Chains A and B, each alone.
Chain A
Amino acid sequence: MSLTRRDFLAAIGATAALCGVAGVGVLTRSEDVPVRPPGAQDEDGFLSACIRCDRCRSICPESSIGVGHIEDGIFAARLPAMVFHDGRCTFCNLCVGVCPTEALHSIDPGQDKLGVAVITSNCLTWDDPGSCAVCRDVCPYGAVTIVGGMPVVDRSICNGCGECVHLCPALVYRSVSGDRSMRGVEVYPESVAQRKVDDGEVR
């Protein structure tokens, strides 16, 4: 095996090109991390372990796992992300069972969180307090209460299962871009939710 100049250049060129791709990935990483499937809440760990095989999305019985898009960065594309428009996470662990790299882990819905729900500006009660309490009625964990006609999420109880998002009647039929339309209640990863609350975007 003899090394030629050409080989050396090929090796350097390929390494530079791939580091460039990864570099662009780092630069385009979005702060707004989506809610990941169970056990993938450490974003860096998940990025290193997920091989984007699509098996968790495919097997989810509630169709609550969607897929990431290039708009959210090179790293985000093809990564599984929770979309609760079709159903909530029941913590059934089927996705964990098919993950070939253990990027997902089973979590305890009483202790751990996928994310937390927050009330967005699309909630019907902003215009008409007391008009809707669906999220309170459907929450399997009793994390939502109605205060002054408007829903309030107890973020210490909420584990981000997404049932409230699934059944929230706001903006259900006004979707022009599927997973991107925001309902009256949305689930975000804890850190993202905290930032949005601090910014006054949601409550």
Chain B
Amino acid sequence: MKPSAQRMLAGAGVFVVVSLGLAFRTGLGTPASFGLGVFAAICPLAWIQEALASRSMTVPALIGITLVIAITVVLGRVWCGWLCPAQFVRRFLGGRGQAAKDQADKPTLDISMDPEEVQADVQRIVAGERKRVRRASIPEGSDSRYWVLLAVVISTFIFGVPVFCLICPIGLSVGLLIDLWRLIQYNEVTWTILVFPAIIVLEFVIFRRWCHTICPIGILYGLISRLNRTWRPQVDYRKCLRATGIDCKECVKSCPEGIDLHHPLDSADISVCTKCRECVAVCPGSAVSIPFLAKEFTPSSSDLSSHQDQPRR
């Protein structure tokens, strides 16, 4: 199964759980708060907004945010890659072309090199000159999502209402499911059923790269993920085509977040990785893996030099 299909399945699981909460009295909740009793994960942005709006901090919410931070530290930014309903909106609006458009919009990482340079580059990486893991740095000002996050904080504080929740495409898609369910179960006819999808479509049509330029929830998970050290994609240069001098950038091109595993210092921070596994699936040499803990692979210099002797391409 392709990673995109796996992610769709996981994302559909969110709607299945919400539907269970509609069919039975589970009280499990939705992405805003999900769990049993007080042991429920809370949307980190909802938590911030609730605290700012009500000027208070509650124990269940603190338990919730602790759970979310713990899960994100272990699993990284998986919410965005695997569970967020945005993947369905993007697919619905863009079909297969959307990924290609995103690709064109992404900052290009053009490091065209001749084979010797490619190999020398690999040698440097392997020699540890460019360590695969970049240390967390200060958020870059150029990521507009930080500004949206700031705007959410300011507007929520001023108005005393969780403002982003009002237009959150995640909340609105779950709300739409609830309203459709109640339309059938209780005859509840409401404009919400037309207005919510309209808002979601508008958001993703105006901001085609909503996830990468607007979503404050995504960047919040990215910030928490700076603590994440597990399940990081890793290149095995014993298998990577670059070690043979081929300037292969399939993993770089496949990454929706713009991470270059070969040049982590010059690309998006590894903390924004959503563990989507596209790089694993696309790698022609099966050199990319996402191990629980980074594996030590120290190819002997003979491994690399033996490649050098082979005819190129």
Tell me if A147 is interfacial: C-beta within 8 Å of chain B: no
A107 to B141, CA, bound (A): 48
Tell me if B243 is interfacial: C-beta within 8 Å of chain A: no
B213 to chain A, nearest CB (A): 9
Q: 27 A-B pairs, CB-CB below 8 angstroms?
A: A3-B141, A7-B144, A10-B147, A17-B151, A18-B155, A19-B158, A47-B53, A47-B160, A48-B162, A51-B46, A51-B165, A53-B34, A55-B28, A58-B22, A58-B27, A58-B28, A66-B186, A70-B190, A71-B191, A71-B192, A75-B161, A78-B175, A98-B40, A100-B33, A101-B33, A177-B190, A179-B186
Q: Spell out B's residues near A (CB within 8 Å).
A: 18, 21-22, 25-30, 32-34, 37-38, 40, 42-43, 46-47, 49-50, 53-56, 58-61, 64, 138-142, 144, 147-148, 150-152, 154-155, 158-167, 171, 174-175, 178-179, 182, 186-192, 195-196
A1 to chain B, nearest CB (A): 5
CB contacts (< 8 Å) of B150 on chain A: these are 11, 14-15
- In the bound complex, do residue A51 and residue B42 qualify as a contact, i.e. CB atoms below 8 Å apart? yes
Total residues of chain A contacting the partner, CB 8 A: 59
B127 to chain A, nearest CB (A): 31
Tell me if A201 is interfacial: C-beta within 8 Å of chain B: no
CB contacts (< 8 Å) of A54 on chain B: these are 18, 21, 29-30, 32, 174, 178
- In the bound complex, do residue A61 and residue B147 qualify as a contact, i.e. CB atoms below 8 Å apart? no
Closest 7 CB pairs of A and B: A59-B27, A14-B151, A178-B188, A53-B33, A53-B32, A48-B53, A18-B155
CB contacts (< 8 Å) of B25 on chain A: these are 58-61
CB contacts (< 8 Å) of A102 on chain B: these are 58-61
